[in-house]
Amino acid sequence: MANRIKEKLNEDGKLLSIYFTAGYPKLGDTVEIIQQLEKNGVDMIEIGLPFSDPLADGPTIQQSSTAALKNGMTTEILFDQLKGIRQSVSIPLIIMGYFNPMLQYGVEAFCKKCQEIGIDGLIIPDLPVDVYHDEYQETFEKYGLINVFLITPQTSDERIRFIDSVSNGFIYMVSSASVTGAQSGFGDEQQAYFQRIADMKLNNPQIVGFGISNSETFEQATKSSKGAIIGSAFIKHLNGHGVDGISTFTKTIR
């Protein structure tokens, strides 16, 4: 079966992808959040596996991760919750998490479990492309998983080309030199960066993340890219409105 991420990338239009931290606000919210997001027209979902020390994340996701762990979330529990997810959900699902919990679960066992559940890809910010390429690519591919890499405004053209060559889905384009969390919009510098990457005509489409929180930033980010990812702003919304308010959030984006 073709990977759902690839099929989705081949569709016309801009993709809206949403990140949430599994186990937050409540331990048992995972499936409900995924179903609600699909129902409200979201194209792709990143399920955050919480970690005690999320280096690349700003205060909102740090706080949701700490709370999720406090609620009792573990890798095993997340897999249990997701067991029947493909009976009700058909959009691409990606697990996003730091490398250490995967390493402790066993990288191959983790990948195998993802395939069984119907996970389509992984985003692991602290697994560098070089290490992935040398040690893990075969395993990921064996279980049909697309691994997504990040690029930033500081990433050199040469390294972007290398990341493009190792990628087999999309490239996660970090909007600015920052950790995750909403900013006050994109300036000329970011627009120029978006354009620079678009002009490189990479093999893999790009989806922009970090700093997207509303329809304005979504539109700016997707002008020259395939889509955008919203994380912190969605978690903040969940925090205030709970799972029931998901449709009001997605309506503010597009």
Partner 1 sequence: MKTYQADEKGYYGEFGGAFIPEMLYPNTEELRQNYIRIMQEPSFKEEFDQLLKDYVGRPTPLYFADRLSKKYNTKIYLKREDLCHTGAHKVNNTIGQILMAKKLGKNRIIAETGAGQHGVATATVCALMGIECIVYMGEIDIARQAPNVARMKMLGAEVRPALSGSRTLKDATNEAIRDWINNPVDTHYIIGSVVGPHPYPDMVARFQSVISEEIKWQLKEKEGRENPDYVVACVGGGSNAAGAYYHYLDNPDVGIIAVEAAGKGIDTGESAATSALGKVGIIHGSKTLLMQTDDGQITEPYSISAGLDYPGVGPMHANLFASGRGEFISITDEDAMNAGLLLCKTEGIIPAIESSHALAILEHRKFKPEDVVVINLSGRGDKDLNNYIEFFNL
Q: Check binding of 150 to partner 1 (CB under 8 A).
A: yes
Q: Is 57 a catalytic residue?
A: yes
Smaller CB distance to partner 1: residue 52 or 247?
52
Q: Which stretch binds partner 1 (CB under 8 A): 27-35, 87-95, 154-162, 237-245?
A: 154-162
- Residue 179's SS3 state is coil
Q: Check binding of 144 to partner 1 (CB under 8 A).
A: no
Q: Which stretch binds partner 1 (CB under 8 A): 14-22, 80-88, 150-158, 224-232?
A: 150-158
What gap in Å lies between CA 144 and CA 136, rounded to an integer? 13
Minimum Å gap between C-beta 62 and partner 1 is: 5
Q: Check binding of 59 to partner 1 (CB under 8 A).
A: yes
Q: How far is CA 11 from the centre of its chain?
A: 19
Q: Check binding of 236 to partner 1 (CB under 8 A).
A: no
What gap in Å lies between CA 120 and CA 47, rounded to an integer? 11
What gap in Å lies between CA 233 and CA 13, rounded to an integer? 22
* DSSP element (H, E) containing 241: helix 232-241
Six-digit token pair at 66? Answer: 């700490």
Question: Among the options 38, 57, 80, 216, which is catalytic?
Answer: 57
Q: Check binding of 159 to partner 1 (CB under 8 A).
A: yes
Q: Check binding of 62 to partner 1 (CB under 8 A).
A: yes
Minimum Å gap between C-beta 247 and partner 1 is: 31
Smaller CB distance to partner 1: residue 127 or 253?
127
Q: Check binding of 31 to partner 1 (CB under 8 A).
A: no
Q: Is 120 a catalytic residue?
A: no
Instruction: Out of 93, 122, 174, 202, name the contact with partner 1 by CB under 8 A.
Output: 174
Question: Among the options 29, 38, 46, 120, which is catalytic?
Answer: 46
Radius of gyration of the chain from Cα atoms? Answer: 17
With a CB cutoff of 8 Å and minimum separation 6, the contacts of 211 are 175, 176, 178, 181, 182, 183, 186, 217
With a CB cutoff of 8 Å and minimum separation 6, the contacts of 229 are 17, 18, 19, 46, 172, 207, 208, 209, 212
Residues in contact with partner 1 by CB under 8 A are 51-56, 58-59, 62-63, 66, 69, 74-76, 98-105, 125-129, 131, 149-152, 154-156, 159, 174, 177-179
